[in-house]
Amino acid sequence: MARRELKRRDPGSTVDLCRPCHGNVHASLSNGDLGRGYDSLEALSAHPDVRKFTDWVCDKPHGRA
């Protein structure tokens, strides 16, 4: 089965995140909300739920599977 291509307004409007942060962003924000204004690291960091998670995870060991 072919992979579905996502249509983006601007292909450069993505942010590289680690897997845990990526999961938290999608748990905190809908894809619609992401597309309407959370397309930068600064904007994501300003969201209270995302900020709460990043404050919690920042001192955890890296690379845990």
pLDDT digits (tens, 9 = 90+) for 30-49: 999 988 888 888 999 999 99
Long-range pairs for 24-30: beta carbons < 8 A, 24 or more residues apart: 24/49, 24/50, 24/53, 24/54, 24/57, 25/50, 28/53
d(CA 65, CA 14): 24
Q: Where are the domains of the chain?
A: 19-57
Q: Is this prediction's pTM over 0.85?
A: no
Query: What pLDDT sits at residue 2?
Result: 46
